[in-house]
Structure 1
Amino acid sequence: MKNVNKVGFGGGCHWCTEAVFMSLNGVIKVEQGFIAPKEHLTSFSEAVIVDYDSNVIELKDLVAIHLDTHRSTENHSMRNKYRSGIYFFKQEDELVLKEIMTDVQQDFETPLITAIFPFGAFKSSEDRYHNYYFKDTEKPFCKTHISPKIKMLKEKYAKHVSAKVQ
C-alpha cells in the first residue's frame, strides 16, 4: 500500500530539478513550475512539487539528492529566480526537514543556504516544458546541464534510480 506524501524543491532550473526527481524510484509525480512560500505569495521561483511513496523512498533521501544536485551552498546572483528551498505541505514536516538538514549538513564542507518554507502557491510552467529532459536528452541544454546530474545520481544514489533511466 502506498504512503503518498508531497514536498516542494527549488534550487536550480526546474527542467533540471524535474529530471532528477523523475529519475527516482518511489516518485509518483513531479509538477514543474514556480513556487512561492506562504509568507511571500508573490515571490515565485523555479521549483517542482514531488509526490512520493515514503515506503519506497524516504524524505531524507529526497532532501540529500536535492542538495547534491544544485548549488545548495552558493548564494549566487540568480537566487531570486532559483531560490534554494524546500517547501513543506504539512506543518509536522517542518521539524522533520530541519532535523534532516542538520544531519545532511555534515556531508558538506560549507554551510547550506537552502531554506525551509511553508508552501504558499504554485504556478505550473508551460506544458511544452514539462518532461523537458526525457523528451529529448540530446538537446544541448540537456547534455550540458542535466545529463551530468543524472550521471551523478546513477553513481551516488544508484539504489534509488529507476531502471528506466539506466
Structure 2
Amino acid sequence: MNLTEIETAIFANGCFWCSEAIFQKINGVKEVKPGYIGGKTENPTYEDVCTGTTEHAEAIEIVFDNSLVTYQELLEVFFATHDPTTLNRQGNDVGTQYRSEIFYTTKDQKDQAELFVKILNQENIFDKPVVTKVSKASTFYFAENYHRDYFNNNPEKSYCAMVISPKVKKFEKFFQEYVTK
C-alpha cells in the first residue's frame, strides 16, 4: 500500500459513540478514534466538553485508504447517518458539542465538503437547510480510553442497544456496498 493512499478525515455529527460504530464498519477505514476538536481549551476531558463551555465538538478521526473508500463516500455516510439540519443538536443530545461540522485536513477535502453541502441545499435533499459547518482542522484531542470502541465493548448498555444498534443496522442496510465483509 502506498502511503499517499492513506488519509485522515474528521467529522463531528453528534455522539461520537454512534459515529465510531458506523464508520468502523466501512471497508477501507483503517481506524476510527473518538475525540474533541474545534474548541479553545487545551487537552479537554469528556466532563469539560459536556459543559459546553470549551467550544469543542465530539468528533471522530477516521484514517482511511482512499484506494478502497473515497472521501466522497465518507461524506455520503456522514450526511446519511445524522441530521445535518439541526443546530447544536442530535436527537436528545443538545449542545455545541453535538454540532454537525466537517474538519478538513486538505484543500481537496474542503472543496469536496463545501460542494457537497451546496448540492444538498440546492437540491433541498433534507427539506431544510443543511447547517453543517466546514472548518479547517485544528488540534484533535483523543477521548479517554473508555470511549474508544464503546459500542463493541458495551453492547449490553441501554444507550448502545436502544440508540446505536438501530443506527448501525440502518447503515448496514442502506450502505451494503461499503460494509466490510
What is the TM-score when the length of structure 1 is the normalising length? 0.88
Counterpart for residue 11 of structure 1: 13
Note the alpha carbon deviations across 1:116-148, whole angstroms, 9 max, x for none. Answer: 010011111110110001113232111111111
Letter of the 2:127 partner, please give it: E
Residue in structure 2 matching 1:67, options 71, 79, 82: 79
For the residues of structure 1 that align with 2:178 and 2:163, how far apart are their CA atoms? 21
Is 1:34–1:122's contact at 8 Å kept on the other side of the alignment?
yes
Counterpart for residue 27 of structure 2: 25
For the residues of structure 2 that align with 1:45 and 1:135, how far apart are their CA atoms? 23
Letter of the 1:69 partner, please give it: T
Residue 155 (1) aligns with residue 167 (2): no
For the residues of structure 1 that align with 2:12 and 2:142, how far apart are their CA atoms? 13
Deviation at 1:44, TM superposition (A): 1.1
- Identical-pair percentage: 26
Letter of the 1:83 partner, please give it: R
For the residues of structure 2 that align with 1:16 and 1:83, how far apart are their CA atoms? 14
3-state DSSP of counterpart to 1:60:
helix
Deviation at 1:76, TM superposition (A): 4.8
3-state DSSP of counterpart to 2:171:
helix
For the residues of structure 1 that align with 2:95 and 2:76, how far apart are their CA atoms? 20
Q: How many residues align?
A: 160
Counterpart for residue 121 of structure 1: 139
Describe the shift of the 1:52–1:124 C-alpha distance in structure 2 as closer, same or farther (beyond 3 A).
same
List runs of 5+ in structure 1 lacking aligned partners: none
List runs of 5+ in structure 2 lacking aligned partners: 42-54
Deviation at 1:99, TM superposition (A): 1.5
Is 1:41–1:121's contact at 8 Å kept on the other side of the alignment?
no
3-state DSSP of counterpart to 1:86:
strand
Deviation at 1:45, TM superposition (A): 1.2
User: What's the Cα RMSD here?
Assistant: 1.7
For the residues of structure 1 that align with 2:116 and 2:74, how far apart are their CA atoms? 10
Residue in structure 1 matching 2:62, options 7, 25, 50: 50
Note the alpha carbon deviations across 1:82-126, whole angstroms, 9 max, x for none. Answer: 121011111332112212223344332221111101001111111
Is 1:154–1:161's contact at 8 Å kept on the other side of the alignment?
yes
Letter of the 1:35 partner, please give it: I
Residue in structure 2 matching 1:83, options 76, 79, 99: 99
Describe the shift of the 1:76–1:125 C-alpha distance in structure 2 as closer, same or farther (beyond 3 A).
closer
Describe the shift of the 1:27–1:104 C-alpha distance in structure 2 as closer, same or farther (beyond 3 A).
farther
